[in-house]
Homo-oligomer: A and B are copies of this chain.
Amino acid sequence: MRLKRKDLLGIEELERDEIELLLSTAESFKEVSEREIKKVPTLRGRTIINLFYEASTRTRTSFEIAAKRMSADAINISVSTSSVVKGETLRDTAKNLEAMRPDCIVVRHSSSGTPRMLSRYLACPVVNAGDGAHEHPSQALLDLLTVKEKLGSTDGIKISIIGDITHSRVARSNIYGFTKMGAEVTVAGPPTMLPPGIEKLGCRATTSMEEAIRGADVLMMLRIQSERQAEPLFPSVREYSRLYGLDEAKLRAAKKDVLILHPGPINRGVEISPDIADGPYSLILDQVTNGVAVRMAIFYLLLGGVKEGLQEGVKA
């Protein structure tokens, strides 16, 4: 089975069986990173370009490690050292890179829709590594994998996504992803952070933190991304934290085996208290580990690795 598209631009357009394929492929690649020799020859001789217009440690590193563990050549281009300062259009940058025959371009950009625009210009697969407040599909896939690993399935589970829903591409991708995979999704945050009509995506919305917590199997705390807000959406960080930050007191209303996710990087003491971030229900580091496996799966399914390679790599 294969994906029904050449690119991974968002979760919105994926069908459930494609998500399942991505997750099961990721599961099969996961053990590669636990080996002493963390490398499969699957994508040897393929060139993967990481084109990052926004700074990133974890996402760029995760894609780079995933590429290298598949034996692909990874080329990093970050905006600060690139000729985009010279005023070249995005399309020209894309066509020029394509002319060097990469097998995949991973792109992060502050403008929503940039990866889709690129994908129209390019014959090679494009992977969205986060575009504005639109989507961050590999993040949603790793979140789905993390929950599925713990609960066996996402069908019928209740997940609440809490924070600045309006500006969060992580929220958007996860609403699509968990809804498609059978979960009941609630989004929560102060009124200024809940976009009107968000329910149309298939989720419930509430401004009540207690309502979001009660009965949820999974709580996904979002990072307060003050750098992406044109104007402050709440009076102060302290005020936000008091009302919507997850701490021991608020957690008492939760199910006793609730799972806690956060896409990172975390603001300790703002949206999540340190004891909870490091506590027994936190899956934050599992998410990061699963991120590498999910990105290996994305590359594998989009690039169509050499079959012998995979056999040798995954089965051996």
Q: Which residues of A contact B (CB under 8 A)?
A: 33-39, 44-47, 49, 52, 55-58, 60-62, 64-65, 68-69, 73, 75, 77-78, 80-89, 92-93, 95-103, 227, 264-268, 285-289, 291-292, 306
Contacts and interface: CB of A to CB of B under 8 A. Distances in A.
A64 to B, nearest CB: 6
Contacts of A35: 45
Nearest to A41: B37
Return the 4 tightest CB-CB contacts between A and B, nearest first: A37-B45, A99-B288, A39-B45, A88-B265
Contacts of A291: 100
Interface centre among A44, A56, A65, A287 (most CB of B within 10 A): A65
Contact of A92 (B77, B81, B100, B265): B265
Contacts of A86: 227, 265
A57 B98 CA distance: 13
A211 to B, nearest CB: 29
20 contacts: A34-B101, A36-B45, A37-B45, A55-B82, A57-B81, A57-B82, A57-B83, A57-B84, A64-B75, A65-B75, A80-B81, A86-B227, A92-B264, A92-B265, A96-B265, A99-B286, A99-B287, A99-B288, A100-B288, A101-B289
Contact of A96 (B34, B52, B89, B288): B288
Contacts of A292: 100-101
Contacts of A85: 55
A306 B37 contact: yes
B38 A45 contact: yes
B73 A65 contact: yes
A84 B45 CA distance: 33
Given A75-B65, A80-B80, A46 B38 contact: yes
Contacts of A38: 45-47, 101, 103
A264 B96 contact: yes
Given A49-B61, A87-B267, A95-B285, 4 more contacts: A33-B100, A38-B101, A47-B68, A65-B73
A83 to B, nearest CB: 4
A86 to B, nearest CB: 5
A97 B61 contact: yes
Contacts of A45: 35-39, 69
Contact of A83 (B56, B80, B100, B285): B56
